[in-house]
Structure 1
Amino acid sequence: MSFFPEYVRIYGEKGAERGGAHICSDRGAALWVPPGVHPDENALDALLERSVAPDSKAELFDVYSEFDRAHPSEPHWFLPLMGVDPFMKKRGIGTALMAHGLNICDQDGTIAYLESPKPENVPFYERFGFRSHYTIDVARHPKVVTMVRPAKKANP
């Protein structure tokens, strides 16, 4: 966990600078990365190099390679991080965060993309129109379901 803040900064700083960070009081947050915005790959590789156990690096880099393969080729908003305080679950916070981000996607007319490492979260995302896209299943790494929501145009 000591490397997580740095990971979030590397992965999400550019998205946050472009309006992709959404906070619901102190109860939850979502980070959306806009189309065409990518993390600093060199900084991310350096972080993974020093924070991952040597015997897990090859597998992790294989997983990241699968993430790259799963990303849609067309412009999309990407939701790499969303969390709700465990004591505040089932109170509409995740729904509010998701609706806010999807509204931006709809205004842009772009698809939305996410990666769910928790199978129990898939039905939540499906309620917003996401559909399973690709399953990442590499060695000992937990399976990750990637999901895409088609583009919609916001009402004028």
Structure 2
Amino acid sequence: MGCCSSTPLNPDIPVEIPAYIKRLNSNSDPAILKQVEDVMTKAFTGSNTSPPEPSIAWCFDPDGNVDDDYSKPLKAPPTKEREDVLRFIIKFGIALSGKHNSIFALFEEDEYGKATDVVVGATCIIPPNTTNLHDPGMCEFIALGLTSPPPTVMQPRMDKVLTKVMKEGHKKWAHDPHWYVYSIGMDSEKQGKGYGRKLMSFISSIADATELPVYLETHGPRNRRFYENNGYVVKEGKILEHKGSKSLDKHEGFLIMVRPPSKK
């Protein structure tokens, strides 16, 4: 388990941060942090035209996706309860990564290539450490001021399945210091413009400069292709299943991916 009220880290970023990316922490401009929260919440929640974050969608409602495929959009517009759950999850990621100065927001560029003040994507990263910061204990939740549990409807799948699989995968494939993409979300209305590639390229540059791997989890062929195109390799696919629920078993299941540092 993560340490109780862990000591804040401020990892060195030995690369130049592009003008269209800003490094944020918990004390950054509240207006920008709210944009990050809104963009990531919308991306993770999904809609009937854009897919949600698959594993959380499975935990929340195993019957809620088109064709029972969690890499596809929702069957219906998201409920307020779903949006509230995903906002809480995003808020926690922002609080945890923000404590360690490791939120990176991506801003839209105008027709001249100049960064605007509009956030189009963001990632919350857990920096390299030896204290399992990716696995916060209850005291860490309390220290961050976020104590609400997930709704009863999703607790069995989240607590007994997803959390267990994530812990096992991390222990098996990322037991040495590494960068962990805790969460990443892009504005679905801005996709196809190369923004996601720019953000991932920046993350890769940090990993290469520090000579450390990057670890993440994902699901679905589209996400897999995106990450593979950015140097990630699937290490393992895990089927998520719980008695009485439909399984997350298509497309090789819940994918554990690692990007080794590029050797120049």
**TM-score category by the smaller chain?**
0.7 to 0.9
The structure richer in strand per residue is 1
> 3-state DSSP class of the match of 1:28?
strand
> 3-state DSSP class of the match of 2:84?
coil
Deviation at 1:35, TM superposition (A): 1.7
Aligned to 2:57: none
Aligned to 2:238: 136
> 3-state DSSP class of the match of 1:82?
strand
Unaligned residue ranges in structure 1 (runs of 5+): none
Contact 1:67–1:136, Cα closer than 8 Å, also in 2: no
2:168 to 57, 69, 73: 69
Contact 2:106–2:122, Cα closer than 8 Å, also in 1: yes
Hey, what's the Cα distance between the residues in 2 that align with 1:11 and 1:122? 22
Match runs of 1:1-156 below 5 Å: 1-25=83-107, 26-36=119-129, 37-38=133-134, 40-42=136-138, 43=141, 47-48=148-149, 50-53=150-153, 56-61=154-159, 62-71=161-170, 72-139=174-241, 140-142=246-248, 143-152=253-262
Hey, what's the Cα distance between the residues in 2 that align with 1:141 and 1:12? 29
Deviation at 1:151, TM superposition (A): 2.4
Deviation at 1:107, TM superposition (A): 2.0
Structure 1, 117-126 or 66-75: larger mean CA deviation: 117-126
Q: Aligned pair count?
A: 151
Hey, what's the Cα distance between the residues in 1 that align with 2:220 and 2:94? 20
The structure richer in helix per residue is 1
Deviation at 1:148, TM superposition (A): 0.3
Deviation at 1:97, TM superposition (A): 0.7
Deviation at 1:58, TM superposition (A): 2.7
Closer/same/farther in 2, CA of residues 39 and 6 from structure 1, 3 Å limit = farther
Identity of aligned residues (%): 21
> 3-state DSSP class of the match of 2:235?
strand
What letter is aligned with 1:73?
H
What letter is aligned with 2:226?
F
Hey, what's the Cα distance between the residues in 1 that align with 2:95 and 2:134? 10
Which structure's CA Rg is the greater one? Answer: 2
Closer/same/farther in 2, CA of residues 46 and 119 from structure 1, 3 Å limit = farther
Hey, what's the Cα distance between the residues in 1 that align with 2:221 and 2:152? 24
Structure 1, 15-24 or 36-45: larger mean CA deviation: 36-45
Contact 1:7–1:47, Cα closer than 8 Å, also in 2: no
When normalised by structure 1's length, the TM-score is 0.83
